[in-house]
A and B are shown apart, each in its own frame.
Chain A
Amino acid sequence: MGKWDWQVFLEDPGGKIPTYWQWLVSAWGWTVSVSLCSLVVALLLGSLVGVIRTLPDSPWLVRFGNAWVELFRNVPLLVQIFLWYHVVPKMFPVMAGLPPFILVVFALGFFTSARIAEQLRSGIQALPKGQRYAGMAVGFTTPQYYRYVILPMAYRIIIPPLTSESMNIFKNSSVAFAVSIPEMIQFAMQAGEETSRVTEMYMAVTVLYVISAMVINRIMAWVEKRVRVPGFVVAGTGGGGH
């Protein structure tokens, strides 16, 4: 104890993967794949539900959107993961053939979609009502004024919370170990036990989580800068907020 032993990463775990560091890289790959796939699901579903919740004259769609958000936001993530992994395949035998990876991506994606939907709704509602009316006044249909007037501004407003959400998805992906996805937490637990070097394993994993989250953070900051509209009213509040 007390003395670091980083050479442990060069040791041979005795299987298909020749060293522990290569195994760690493979585990990182799983973490990144789960996170990015979930992020795609979350952005698509979250945008859809977020828009639905702000539609005028569609009370049932709005209620559906609200129910979606409350359902996926109020159930703990780990419980949702277990529901997708253990319960959904029993209820819908069609889903039983799906690889666990897909189920976890759905679980994490749906969970995050509720949060993104809530953010997009607040972004849309933060816009002055006049924008919507202006869109209607020039003869746009509802999809058209969402596409050309409201959403371009709303997305710019919510980039800072979206950044947090994208970083969260990386950190939340660690619960996937509970359903046997060979990601970084599972690596740390397993390799730590095999080598008795738990601290080194967790430190390496921590560094990789920080790097992953920072990369996402930088990408989002770049996006934010690229799409900034000079003189846009929310630039002062939403522009450099994080």
Chain B
Amino acid sequence: MKKQIVALAVMALAMGSAVAQSNDTLAKIKASGAISLGVRDSSALSFTLGNGKYAGFHTEMGERIIDDLSKTAGKKLSVNYVPVTSQNRIPLVQNGTVDLECGSTTNNATRQKDVDFAYTTYVEVVRIAVKADSGIKDLKDLNGKTVATTTGTTSVQTLRKNERAQGIDFKEVMGKDHADSFLLLESGRADAFVMDGQILAGNIAKSKAPADFKIVGDALSVEPIACMLRKDDPAFLKAVDDSIKRQIADGSLAKLYDKWFMQPIPPTNTKVGLPLSEATKAAWANPNNKPMEDYVKK
């Protein structure tokens, strides 16, 4: 019994010190010479090329932030790529497995309770994809229709809020992933697919007959996407923000955007073809880490 209590006390101490360490990320990465970068498997902003290689607009931006951190640390930091999912990304950042996550995480007020966000570097707009011959032109036309969206995304919530605000009534079906939701639209089980513009554009571009689909209506919501890091670590947050500001100021972020959204990209060498949106331009002009909720009030 006594031994168990001692063991427990030792564990508690060890955990306490682990927490203390993790709140000074700059010191931690300087001491270890390595940083864990959280990346995504299949997002338009961050994706895998196979064989443990990761690429994408946000992944490469994250690598450049780490280059700047290396300069501050005075030595080259080695990068551990940690693939994360929508479900585990926040716990992994909190427990120290991931130091900096540059995937496709929406900065919202709920998440700000758990983590901090760097400056917004991409602004996503939620749109509606429909079959070209469906006659659906905007949200109001969805009255009485079946609308697909993907489980575990904030678009579902957006959709519901719009439903209530506009007094329209539609049936919601949730696909288990984006490909599944698009299949719901393609097979006619749903009349529309509501999701982030770049995901809709990507799925339509990859479909058998891209001309059969179109993206319609105004932006249903605007979501700031930003890199995520541990809460209450102001020095690390400032270092990351400074690097982003530097990348915006010297135009390298715009070049990076062009590389990943306007030019053919691996692995299939196709173009996403999504020009820089006004919303993203505005976010770059005034670097900020406002949550999604602040965009709604505008």
- B87, B94, B175, B187: the one contacting A193 at CB < 8 Å is B87
Tell me whether A193 and B154 are in contact (CB under 8 A).
Answer: yes
Contact of B140 with A by CB under 8 A: no
Interface residue? B91 (CB, 8 A) = yes
What sequence of 0s and 1s flags, for each residue 166-182 of chain A, a beta carbon within 8 Å of any chain B beta carbon?
Answer: 00000000000110101
Q: Looking at the complex, which of A11-19, A40-48, A144-152, A216-224 is the stretch in contact with chain B?
A: A11-19
Chain B residues whose C-beta falls within 8 Å of the C-beta of A195 in the assembled complex: 110
Counting CB contacts under 8 A, is A57 at the interface?
Answer: no
Q: Which of A1-51 contact B (CB under 8 A)?
A: 1, 13-16
Q: Min CB distance, A104 to chain B, in Å?
A: 13
A14 touching B160 in the complex, CB below 8 Å, given contacts A178-B176, A196-B114: yes
The distance from the CB of A9 to the nearest CB of chain B, in whole angstroms, is 15
Q: Which residues of the partner chain A approach B152 to less than 8 Å between Cβ atoms?
A: 189-190, 192-193
Interface set, chain B 125-172, CB cutoff 8 A to A: 148, 151-154, 156-157, 159-161, 163-164, 172
* Given A177-B151, A180-B175, A186-B151, A196 contacting B90 (CB threshold 8 A): yes
Q: Tell me the complex Cα distance, A190–B153, Å.
A: 7
Given the known interface contacts A180-B174, A182-B174, A198-B87, the answer about A193 and B114 at a Cβ–Cβ threshold of 8 Å is no
In the assembled complex, A161 has its CB within 8 A of some CB on chain B = no
Answer whether residue B26 sits at the interface, using C-beta atoms and an 8 A cutoff: no
> Is the CB–CB distance between A192 and B174 below 8 Å?
no
Complex: A186 Cα to B151 Cα, angstroms: 7
User: How far is the CB of A191 from the nearest CB of chain B, in Å?
Assistant: 10
Interface size on B, residues (CB 8 A): 31
**Minimum CB–CB distance for A79 against chain B, Å:** 15
- In the complex, are the beta carbons of B154 and A190 less than 8 A apart? no
Q: Which residues of B contact A135 (CB under 8 A)?
A: none
Q: Are B94 and A16 in contact (CB under 8 A)?
A: no
Collect the chain B residues with CB atoms within 8 Å of residue A13's CB.
157, 160
Beta-carbon contact of B189 and A1 below 8 Å: no
User: CB-CB < 8 A to A186: which residues of B?
Assistant: 151, 174
Q: How far is the CB of A205 from chain B (nearest CB, A)?
A: 14
Q: Does A160 lie at the interface of the complex (its beta carbon under 8 Å from any beta carbon of B)?
A: no
* B173 touches A (CB below 8 Å): yes
A14 contacts across to B, CB distance below 8 A: 157, 160-161, 164
- Whether A193 lies near B184 (C-beta < 8 A) is no
Chain A neighbourhood of B183, CB < 8 A: 86
CB atoms of A194 and B161 under 8 A apart: no
Q: Mark B83-103, 1 if CB is under 8 A from A, else 0.
A: 000110011001000000000
In the complex, chain B residues whose CB is within 8 Å of the CB of A193:
86-87, 151-154
Cα of A192 to Cα of B294 in the assembled complex, Å = 22
Contact of B156 among A16, A177, A190 (CB under 8 A): A190
* Nearest CB of chain B from residue A29's CB, rounded to whole Å: 16
B113 within 8 A of A: yes
Please give the distance in Å from A146's CB to the nearest CB on chain B. 42
B281: interface (CB < 8 Å): no
Known contacts A186-B151, A190-B156, A194-B154: does B91 contact A15 (CB below 8 Å)?
no
Interface centre among B151, B172, B184 (most CB of A within 10 A): B151
Is B259 among interface residues, defined by CB-CB distance under 8 A?
A: no
A177 contacts B164, CB within 8 Å? Answer: no
CB distance from B294 to the nearest CB of A (A): 17
Residue on B nearest A11 in the bound complex, by CB: B110
Q: Which residues of A lie under 8 Å from residue B164 when comparing CB positions? A: 14-16
Measured between alpha carbons, how far is A194 from B113 in the docked complex, in Å? 13
Are B114's CB and A15's CB within 8 A?
no
Q: Which residues of A contact B75 (CB under 8 A)?
A: none
CA distance A16 to B164 in the complex (A): 7
Pairs A–B under 8 Å by Cβ, sample size 9: A15-B172, A16-B163, A86-B187, A178-B176, A180-B175, A193-B151, A193-B154, A194-B110, A194-B156
> Can you add 8 more A-B contacts, CB < 8 Å, to A190-B152, A194-B156?
A16-B160, A178-B176, A180-B180, A180-B184, A189-B151, A190-B174, A193-B154, A198-B87
**Chain A residues within CB distance 8 Å of chain B:** 1, 13-16, 86, 89, 100, 177-178, 180, 182, 186, 189-190, 192-196, 198
Of all A-B residue pairs in the complex, the 5 with the closest CB atoms, nearest first, are A15-B160, A14-B161, A193-B152, A180-B173, A14-B160
Which B residues are closer than 8 A to A by beta carbons?
Answer: 86-87, 90-91, 94, 110-111, 113-114, 148, 151-154, 156-157, 159-161, 163-164, 172-176, 180, 183-184, 187, 189
